[in-house]
Chain A
């Protein structure tokens, strides 16, 4: 019966995903973190492929490849002040892209329920656990409102690059004001319904299926450990060619 009721969990404990992003970002953003970039990109692409998100996986690899070209072969081929600045930007951005490649996957796959369960299991304060879970739920709603406002601006002839360049503040105001008002309205029902059903109350919540680490979590942990070890080995053995 649990499987019939519980189709959303996909095997991984939500805590594993969240811990993974923080770990990847801590490693990649550390002073000697460049050596982990290929592994992180591979991990992000692998996670995207596992979800059949071909476009996201491909985009990540392409972006990383472009940044690598700009960051390494480009300044080597044409040394100069401009390429040096471009290279510096690329070398930094490739780290961001590597982290975000993993992070967007994890945040995109976290349901509000899973997020709050994970944070509760870590004993995060109620205010933080509840607010973050609610944010996940509100995110698609607010994005939908932002899109609708953008659509309405296009139909009224208020959108477009020229208007933005000529009156940047006016364009911004015309977008942000209705977007804020519509989002507040669109989330009102949801807020009311959630609060009535006890969300954010001072009771101690329970979970229909308490979290438990399983085989999938172990496999992912082993894979990540293997990737990290491979990165360290590669940076030691292939010193001149490996990112560092």
Chain B
């Protein structure tokens, strides 16, 4: 169904090829996993199979031959390939084109010109397979797991013969991962050729027929199903892969209020009247006065109560994980703490109440997409810009570290003259963290910093989060990534809808 022969691909302006000499065949009814560290080329390889390479990447050089469902990808138009392939990208929400479940599932069939009656029948059938709550809801209000189920239905509604998944588990909670494996099993049983690019592997154990490990754009290892199932996590780690994902066990943060989710296993099924759901964990706890304190913080957006905290403490020098499903107010909390969002209540840093403006001057955010936060034309200029902002605005008393030292410490010295927008995702993140540390902010928020990174990069990200906390700052870490939380967080605040 898919046949790659000696495939190579070089991105425009790149010095080295991103893929070299790849040979791969995937038969109908087979499920093949492509794994490897970030930057090993697994997403790129997937893009050669659906024709996004070369049709959607101007100026690169493709060598070798790719045939999918009997079509040579370089010779036919993209929509012909779309007819035989279905693709599910990493973030379901970012690939939805319409607003409702039914319209999204119908989208490809409408574009391919199927008869309206057939479209309605097929959409009805696929909607019926989804949980009943999904049918008429607006897409953006669905949970991450349900959104992905819809994305899978939307990618396969036109009955392609090949389905490609790009890191499908990276944004899923653990229960949703179970539903994902069921969906993959069903596609495989229907006789589709399935290719999954992934760095979390354990949930694929019973499904994968072969596992292919990429490194620097070439095949480093290939494990048949039986061999893969027997591999210990230690071997996976050597290849920069993640094995079993275990929920991080963290003591709860000091917090109370309707927005605070009760501790699982604490023996309290209902929220007690006071809402006091977390006691400070064991061990030394810095005095609350040294960090960030929220009191009576309430926020309404569009008439809806989004966040309601009676009290929450984020000690300086520590990393507090902020958890909870989509839409429970994690980003709102981050925006209130950093002064970007108006809210009722008091926010204190080091015991002093801060106005919204003062919070803006005392905080930094490392956004999920940190490209939005770079303003200068070189890495050095970016660092200097951050340093100049700090000299006038930072808290008195806190001395920011020296520019050169920060560049060295974060491994950015070689990149000093590069344009910030030309950096890789990991490098961009390091630069933004560097800027935040330089400006000596007392509050630092990380928003989903590990979206789609492998084990090795995870370590470097958690080191940076630790370093930011040590500066010292109260650090809020918003993340679904249990591996990251286990490494980087000291305590957790789990939110629920108030």
Contacts and interface: CB of A to CB of B under 8 A. Distances in A.
Interface of A: 1-2, 4-8, 111-113, 137, 145, 148-149, 151-158, 174, 177-179, 181-182, 185-186, 189-199, 201-210
17 contacts: A2-B120, A5-B127, A6-B102, A112-B97, A112-B98, A113-B103, A155-B360, A156-B386, A156-B389, A197-B97, A198-B79, A199-B107, A202-B79, A203-B111, A205-B112, A208-B119, A210-B116
Contact of A199 (B97, B154, B369): B97
B106 interface: yes
A241 B188 CA distance: 75
B135 interface: yes
B372 interface: yes
Interface residues of B, number: 69
A196 B103 contact: no
B52 A111 contact: no
Contact of A209 (B98, B116, B373, B421): B116
Closest 3 CB pairs of A and B: A198-B111, A201-B79, A193-B95
Contacts of B123: 5, 208
Given A151-B340, A208-B106, A208-B123, A182 B114 contact: no
A208 B373 contact: no
Choose among B51, B97, B109, B363 the residue with the greatest number of A CB atoms under 10 Å from its CB. Answer: B97
B327 to A, nearest CB: 15
Contact of B124 (A5, A151, A191, A206): A5
Choose among A148, A191, A195, A196 the residue with the greatest number of B CB atoms under 10 Å from its CB. Answer: A196
A212 to B, nearest CB: 12
B389 A178 contact: no
Interface stretch (B32-40, B84-92, B317-325): B84-92
Nearest to A157: B389
A208 B94 contact: no
A204 to B, nearest CB: 5
Contacts of A149: 372-373
A198 B108 contact: yes
Interface in B96-132: 96-100, 102-103, 106-116, 119-120, 123-124, 127
Interface residues of A: mostly helix, strand, loop or mixed?
Answer: helix
A189 B47 CA distance: 12
A211 to B, nearest CB: 11
Given A178-B372, A195-B56, A206 B85 contact: no
Given A197-B82, A207-B110, A178 B371 contact: yes
A208 B154 contact: no
A5 B137 CA distance: 10
Choose among B87, B340, B439 the residue with the greatest number of A CB atoms under 10 Å from its CB. Answer: B340
Nearest to B57: A192
B415 interface: no
Given A5-B102, A178-B373, A201-B77, A196 B87 contact: yes
Given A197-B107, A206-B115, A155 B98 contact: no
Choose among B109, B115, B375 the residue with the greatest number of A CB atoms under 10 Å from its CB. Answer: B375
Contact of A111 (B98, B386, B393): B98
Interface string B365-382: 101010111110000000
A198 B83 contact: yes
Nearest to B102: A5
B111 A197 contact: yes
Interface string B63-93: 0000000000000011101110101011100
A181 B376 CA distance: 13
B87 A185 contact: no
A195 B367 CA distance: 28
A57 B98 CA distance: 26
Contacts of B51: 196
A134 to B, nearest CB: 8
B120 A189 contact: no
Choose among A156, A190, A202 the residue with the greatest number of B CB atoms under 10 Å from its CB. Answer: A156
B273 interface: no
Contact of A153 (B135, B375, B393): B375
A182 B428 CA distance: 13
A196 B154 contact: no
Contacts of A111: 98-99, 103
Contacts of B374: 178
B111 A205 contact: yes
B168 to A, nearest CB: 14
B365 A152 contact: yes
A1 B127 CA distance: 11
A154 B78 contact: no
B367 A152 contact: yes
A192 B389 contact: no
Contact of A198 (B82, B90, B94, B435): B82
Contact of A201 (B78, B95, B116, B155): B78
B372 A148 contact: yes
Given A112-B97, A206-B115, A196 B78 contact: yes
Contacts of A177: 375, 421
Given A5-B127, A193-B87, A208 B111 contact: no
